[in-house]
Amino acid sequence: MAEPTKLIIDTDPGVDDAVAILMALAAPEVELLGLTTVGGNVPLARTTRNALALLQAAGRSDIPVAKGASRPLRGRFKYAPQVHSPGGLSRRLPEPAARAVKEGAVQFLYDRLTRAPGEVVLVALGPLTNLARLIWERPDALGQAKNIVVMGGAVNTPGNVTPRAEFNFYSDPAAAEIVLSSRLPVTLVDLAACRQVGISREQAMRLRSDHPIGRLTLELLQGWFKKHPSRQRFEFYDPLALAIALEPAITTVAKVDLDVSLEENESLGETSETGGPGEITLARQVDSARFFGLLEGLLELEGFQPT
Ligand code: BDR
Ligand code: CA
């Protein structure tokens, strides 16, 4: 049997982060080494609590959670309670009994990456503050990752938080710029990729699952539609990044060089191609049938009708 993929998810749950984490927990070929948290969708105390609560609800409180940055490299996070609800998740989960481990996210990442050089896949689903701090504090550590898959940026497509910027990169543009200019092997899953894998309200509400993790996922997804009666579509932003980490062939890619705007004006967080070829692997054309096939299979979803 093939060795399981060692995975760490850096995250700010967040409804779509939660779906991605649950996919990883349901994947038999994944060994989830831990979650590192960052403020973003909601404050750090809440993203950390949600990470612990999700693991507990999935029966996996054995997986460590390490607390990361409560603030971006500059300024403060702006949060998105209007998208994810004030608690960050669309359903109240029981209070977690476990706590975050003593080591912070940067130390945790350093330790796990260097303990298994070339083996760990790191998936970053929130503002990139923890990764940027790791580059500063332990410059050699991230290079030990097998792959780094980042959800963030809006390249050649409108943003979702400002007309030009995507939420994760807008939340900490300086950190995004540090990671993208690091020459590390980053796969970027931006909004243009993620917008290829949405689900309609009607279709989401029809789904059923007998798998415990599938049921929990549907409670969150369907709970989100119930909490937001005017929204008709849920985009699988973070789940797509997770899926590409597991099955890179889900998307075509291009090698590009990207620049993140740090200007304190309407371009803040904007992510643009500089024109030349580069080190970043940018997701382009997503095989949405393959993504939904993976989602459906891992979570044992019934009632799925690909559109
Ligand atoms: C990203 O922003 C967050 O709200 C989501 O969790 C996702 O990581 C999409 O722009
Ligand atoms: Ca996220």
Ligand 1 centroid vs 207 CA: distance in angstroms? 23
Reply yes or no on whether the pLDDT at 133 is more than 70. Answer: yes
Query: 81 or 17, which is more confident?
Result: 17
Q: Which ligand is located closest to the Cα atom of residue 41?
A: 1
Reply yes or no on whether the pLDDT at 307 is more than 70. Answer: no
- Over the stretch 194-241, which tens digit does the pLDDT of each residue have? 999 999 999 999 999 999 999 999 999 999 999 999 999 999 999 999
Ligand 1 centroid vs 298 CA: distance in angstroms? 22
**Is there a domain that residue 174 lies in?**
yes
Ligand 1 centroid vs 189 CA: distance in angstroms? 11
- Over the stretch 153-185, which tens digit does the pLDDT of each residue have? 999 999 999 999 999 999 999 999 999 999 999
Instruction: Find out whether 130 and 249 touch, Cβ atoms under 8 Å.
Output: no
Helix, strand or coil for residue 6?
strand
**Is there a domain that residue 195 lies in?**
yes
Q: Report the number of distinct structural domains present in the chain.
A: 1
pLDDT band at 29; cut points 50, 70, 90: very high
pLDDT average, residue stretch 17-35: 98
pLDDT of the residue at 238: 98
The atom of ligand 1 lying closest to the CA of 41 is: 4
**Is there a domain that residue 143 lies in?**
yes
> Which amino acids bring their CB within 6 angstroms of ligand 1?
14, 16-17, 41, 80, 83, 125-126, 151, 160, 166-168, 237-238
Q: How many CB atoms lie within 10 A of CB 71?
A: 15
pLDDT of the residue at 1: 62
C-alpha 270/C-alpha 220 separation (Å) is: 30
**Is there a domain that residue 307 lies in?**
no
**Is there a domain that residue 169 lies in?**
yes
Residue 274, domain CATH: 3.90.245.10
Domain that holds residue 63: 5-302
The atom of ligand 1 lying closest to the CA of 191 is: 10
CA nearest neighbour of 239 among 125, 153, 127, 158: 125
The atom of ligand 1 lying closest to the CA of 126 is: 8
